[in-house]
A and B are shown apart, each in its own frame.
Chain A
Amino acid sequence: MHAINYESPTTVDEAIKLLASHGEKARPLSGGTDLIIQLRAGVRRPDYIVDLKAIPELRRIAFSLQDGLKLGAAVSCIEIHENADMRRYYPGLTEAAHLIGSLQIQSRASVGGNLCNGSPAADTTPALIALGAKARVTGPKGERIVAVEKFCTGPGATVLQPGEILIELLIDAPERHSSDAYLRFIPRNEMDIAVVGVGVALTLEPDEDRVVDARIGLGAVGPTPIFAAEASKALVGKKLDEATTEEAARLAISVATPIDDMRGTAEFRRHVVGVLTRRAVAKAAERARLNSQR
Chain B
Amino acid sequence: MAKKTVVETTINGESMEFLCEPRQSLLEVLRDELELTGSKEGCLTGDCGACTVILDGRAACSCLVLGVEAQGKSITTVEGLASSAGLHVLQQKFLEHAGLQCGICTPGFLMSAKALLDHNPTPTEPEIRYALAGNLCRCTGYDKIVKAVIDAASTLAAGSKAA
Contact = CB atoms under 8 A, between A and B. Distances in A.
A282 interface: no
Given A2-B23, A103-B59, A108 B65 contact: yes
Contact of B5 (A6, A31, A36, A105): A6
Contacts of A191: 47, 133-134
A229 to B, nearest CB: 35
Interface in A166-202: 189-191
A1 to B, nearest CB: 5
Interface in A1-45: 1-6, 8, 29, 31-33, 36-37, 39-40
A6 B68 contact: yes
Interface residues of A, number: 29
Given A3-B23, A36-B66, A189-B133, A104 B46 contact: yes
A101 interface: yes
Contacts of A53: 69
Contacts of A78: 58
Contact of A32 (B2, B47, B52, B65): B65
B25 A36 contact: yes
Contact of A103 (B22, B25, B45, B115): B115
B55 A107 contact: yes
Contact of B59 (A1, A104, A189): A104
B46 A101 contact: yes
A193 B67 CA distance: 27
17 contacts: A5-B2, A6-B66, A8-B68, A8-B71, A31-B64, A32-B64, A36-B64, A36-B66, A78-B58, A103-B116, A103-B130, A104-B49, A104-B60, A105-B46, A107-B59, A189-B133, A190-B133
Interface of B: 1-2, 5, 21-23, 25, 44-47, 49, 52, 55, 58-61, 63-66, 68-69, 71, 112, 115-116, 130-131, 133-135
